[in-house]
Amino acid sequence: MNLNYTPEEQAFREQVRSFVRANLPGDISQKILHHKRLAKEDYVRWQKILHQRGWVAPGWPVEYGGTGWNAVQKHIFDDECAEAGAPPVLAFGINMVGPVIIAFGSDAQKQHYLPRILASEDWWCQGYSEPGAGSDLASLKTRAERRGDHYIVNGQKTWNTLGQHADMIFCLVRTASGTKKQEGISFLLIDMHSPGVTVRPIIMIDGGHEVNEVWFENVEVPVSNLVGEEGRGWSYAKFLLSHERSGIAAVGRSKRELRLLKYIASQEQVDGAPLIEEPRFRDKIARLEIDLMALELTDMRVASAEGEGRAPGPEASILKIKGTEIQQALTELMMEAVGPYALPYIPQQWGDNWIGEHVGPEYAGPLASRYFNYRKVTIYGGSNEIQRNIIAQHILGL
């Protein structure tokens, strides 16, 4: 793989950079760059802007609304969006259920759902994990019993991200028992506004309402909302998770956060000199930057393989592990850099728009909240312990 950008790729970068600078709303980018919470409308507004340009789903086939970009162009696009402070495109519709529908859905499902995903007319969420079925997802107990032309769904999902905003949820449900547990699972699309669906908030340690538990009580779902074949949901779920884990690496966002870390370290003082000149702290930054450079190269190799038609395999687990470890390390070093200014961010006391005027510099205000929030990244998308098992089995042959 040639790691030098061609003149054409440099020109593409300028095209993307110019578009993002001209069209990204300033209030949204300021929230991102200052670690403030985004509202639902912020995500939707940016996705609609990208949709109007035809850039909201770079990974989709062109016939379904994709861009036709190669792996390097997708990398450049992600890089420039992250650098400018653009919010990530919500993965649940574009990067998760969309590719599953394209690969395994019926023509009717493609015609109905794909345009709505592109236009942000439906907000999607994920229904995978359950109490007692997280890392061992195949142990799920939510059932869907077929009655005529409907399934009747009963059960509970947990750690459901942003489900309080969702119009639709893609769910793994058990449609058969008495067989190998993976073979009795189906992939079902459920309207969140259906009678019998209840969303209950789970407040996280940073004080935010980001995840939920979702209850299904005799929820009627048309059989036409079954994706692919009944009992084949486990295969579709693995296909989806490989795409999710690749995206979790978040190289562009980590590069942006690394630049912020260096800025913070240049502002904070130790013994009258900038912290970034302190040898031990500078060494920590250097080690982290080397890890991030290696992750970026690995990410581009995986993306290149996808561009050749190969779905991401166990290498996606490598990206997930290292990407999330780097994200956590960035939050930890920022906290270390600001020292006593790294007080817990309490939104109930200061509100979402608190700027840190009470304690220390503006950039210090949200750092504790971000640190708490990022404890989750090594868990979601399949915990890093599970990813190491996948690597051991499929790459090392253990």
Can you give the pLDDT at residue 245?
A: 58
183 is catalytic: no
Beta strand 269-270 with 273-274: parallel, antiparallel or unpaired?
Answer: antiparallel
- The dihedrals phi and psi of 5, each to the nearest 5 degrees, come to -75, 135
Q: Would the pLDDT of 1 be above 50?
A: no
10 Å Cβ neighbour count for 211? 20
What residue type is assigned to position 17 of the chain? R
Residue closest to 321 by CA, chosen among 388, 265, 255, 270: 388
Cα dihedral across residues 298, 301, 307, 309: positive or negative: negative
166 or 365, which is more confident? Answer: 166
Contacts of 248 (CB under 8 A, 6+ apart): 319, 320, 323, 324, 377, 380, 381
CA distance 364 to 170: 38
Q: Which has the minimum average pLDDT: 132-136, 264-268, 351-355, 392-396?
A: 351-355
Angle between helices 279-307 and 251-267 (to 10 degrees): 170
Q: Would the pLDDT of 279 be above 60?
A: yes
Catalogue all structural domains in the chain, each as residue range(s) with its CATH number: 7-89 (1.10.540.10), 124-232 (2.40.110.10), 249-394 (1.20.140.10)
pLDDT tens digits, residue range 8-48? 999 999 999 999 999 999 999 999 999 988 999 999 999 99
Residue closest to 114 by CA, chosen among 51, 195, 164: 51
Chain Cα centroid distance, residue 76: 18
Active site residue: 213, 230, 244, 296, which one? 244
Can you give the pLDDT at residue 314?
A: 75
pLDDT tens digits, residue range 372-384? 999 999 988 778 8
In three-state secondary structure terms, 79 is helix
pLDDT tens digits, residue range 206-242? 888 999 999 999 999 999 999 999 999 999 998 887 6
Can you give the pLDDT at residue 357?
A: 47
Q: Would the pLDDT of 339 be above 80?
A: yes
DSSP structural state of residue 256: H
What single string gives the DSSP state of each residue in 6-34?
Answer: PHHHHHHHHHHHHHHHHHS-HHHHHHHHT
CA distance 121 to 47: 10
Cα dihedral across residues 246, 251, 253, 257: positive or negative: positive
CA distance 121 to 59: 19
- Between the two ends of the chain, the Cα-to-Cα distance in Å is 29
CA distance 375 to 186: 31
pLDDT tens digits, residue range 247-271? 678 899 999 999 999 999 999 998 8
Is the pTM for the entire model greater than 0.85? yes
Length of the chain: 398
Can you give the pLDDT at residue 11?
A: 97
Inter-residue contact 255 to 237 (CB < 8 Å):
no
Contacts of 236 (CB under 8 A, 6+ apart): 100, 103, 104, 187, 227, 228
Residue 192 pLDDT grade (very low, low, confident, very high; cuts 50, 70, 90): very high
User: What SS3 string covers 303-330?
Assistant: HHHHHCCCCCCCHHHHHHHHHHHHHHHH
| Lookup result for tokens 């990206």 | 319
Rounded to a whole number of angstroms, the CA Rg of the chain reads 22
Average pLDDT over the chain reads 89
Q: How far is CA 157 from CA 143, 153, 228, 265, 329, in A?
A: 11, 12, 22, 42, 30
CA distance 398 to 396: 6
